[in-house]
Amino acid sequence: MARRLGRRRFLSTAMGATLLGSASTAKETSKPDSTEKREVRLEFLRPKEIKEAQAACPTLFQPLGTIEWHGVHNVVGVDAVKAHALCIRAAQRAGGVVSPLLYGGVGGLDEPHTFIMEPENSVFSNLLRPWLEQLCREMVRDGFRAIIILTGHYGAAQQIVVRETAVRMSRALGIPVLGTPEYMLAIDVNYTGDHAAWGETSLMMHLYPDTVDLSRLGKPPHQGVGGRDPRQSSAKDGKLITETIVSRLATLARKMPEWDNKKLDRFVDAEAILVAKQLSAPRGKRNIWTAWRNIGTAMREYGKNLAEEKFEENKAAVAKL
Ligand SMILES: [Zn+2]
């Protein structure tokens, strides 16, 4: 597609139409995981628990989100609380610790109840980028040996800033830092990222069921929604997307601290190629979403390849973007 691809257009065309399977019995409220599970939130840990967690798995998750309109049926913190819940589940499964949720990033829709800290399409981040850099440095200084930055908010510039910062910090700090939106880990179950549409709403129906009210939706077009009709959302679909993302995050959290320099270099090379393509594809003039046109097909196996350490396959896939 040679035409300019706007954010909403990307969100509405990138969505797959396949219905997902598997049953859900999840009943959860605003607390994302039950109290029997290990406390993994850094802000609720004492020194002894932090030391023990680091000894078992020195990976730190950093969830990112913002305050942004997500339709009349969703809460405005979707991006943030979704990323937080996914990180918590992964850490409880694999080990590791979850850093406090960071609100605020690049862009946001021109809709009510939306905090725009930096311009939507600007890759020249003066707030998020240095903040993430310093966080990574402090995480390493505190003994963590791998970092996973998971952004639930994903305008094109936000994605570029997060991944580019992760690549640079991997090289500068000598440890693996992955910076990715959560949808990239679940493209193969047809979640290619959307805005308050089927994918995000299904995730929320599984992760925080009492926050979603589909009955508030009228007929399309739905205000400030991009992607497949959210009236088709279900907790069942959200469960499959959650499982896919969490299993990959958990695998990465276990493996990443063990990577030797050779593996680290292979990982960083593939991530660098991806972000270079995303950054350069518009050639300074065209739409910033240019490198996302074929993401649903070209990068379909990205999450699986990453978890299986098949970095060269992801590198090859970038050529098809
Ligand atoms: Zn969102």
Q: How far is the CA of 147 from the centre of ligand 1 (A)?
A: 22
Determine the distance separating the centroid of ligand 1 and the alpha carbon of 200, expressed in angstroms: 6
pLDDT 10s digits, 219-278: 999 999 999 999 999 999 999 999 999 999 999 999 999 999 999 999 999 999 999 999
Written as six digits, the tokens of 178 are 């992955």
Q: Selecting from 3.40.50.10310, 3.40.1170.60, 3.40.50.1860, 3.30.1490.20, what CATH number does the domain 2-318 have? A: 3.40.50.10310
pLDDT score recorded for residue 164: 98
| pLDDT given at position 95 | 96
Residue 151 makes CB contacts below 8 A (sequence gap 6+) with 63, 64, 65, 79, 83, 105, 158, 159, 162, 179, 180, 181, 182
Ligand 1 centroid from CA 201, angstroms:
9
Q: Of 71-80, 95-104, 202-211, 277-286, give the lowest mean pLDDT range.
A: 277-286
Give residue 80 CA to ligand 1 midpoint distance, Å. Answer: 8
Share of the chain above pLDDT 90, in %: 87
| Predicted pLDDT at 87 | 98
CA 72 – ligand 1 centroid, Å: 13
Domain boundaries, the chain: 2-318
The letter for the amino acid at 321 is L
Distance from the alpha carbon of residue 196 to the mean position of ligand 1, in angstroms: 6
**Backbone dihedral angles phi then psi of residue 183, each to the nearest 5 degrees:** -65, -25
**Top-confidence residue, 7 or 70:** 70
107 CA → ligand 1 middle, Å: 11
Question: Residue 34's pLDDT is what?
Answer: 46
* Cα 75 to middle of ligand 1, angstroms: 10
Reported confidence tier of residue 284, pLDDT bands at 50, 70, 90 = confident
Task: Render 49-64 in DSSP notation, one character per residue.
Answer: HHHHHHHH--EEEEEE
Cα of 22 from ligand 1 centre, angstroms:
24
Q: What is the pLDDT of residue 19?
A: 35
Q: For 18-27, how does the pLDDT look when each residue is reduced to its tens digit (9 = 90+)?
A: 333 333 333 4
Q: Calculate how far, in angstroms, residue 86's C-alpha sits from the geometric centre of ligand 1.
A: 14
Which residues are close to ligand 1, an ion, with C-beta < 5 A?
78-79, 200
Question: Chain centroid to CA 98: how far?
Answer: 14
pLDDT score recorded for residue 36: 65
Question: Does the pLDDT at position 33 exceed 70?
Answer: no
pTM of structure: 0.90
Q: Directed axis angle between helix 198-207 and helix 235-255, to 10°?
A: 80
Check residue 6 and give its pLDDT: 52
Question: What is the mean predicted confidence (pLDDT) over 161-186?
Answer: 98
Model confidence band, residue 285 (pLDDT cutoffs 50, 70, 90): confident
Query: Ligand 1 mean position to 303 CA, how many Å?
Result: 19
CB 130 within 8 Å of CB 91? no
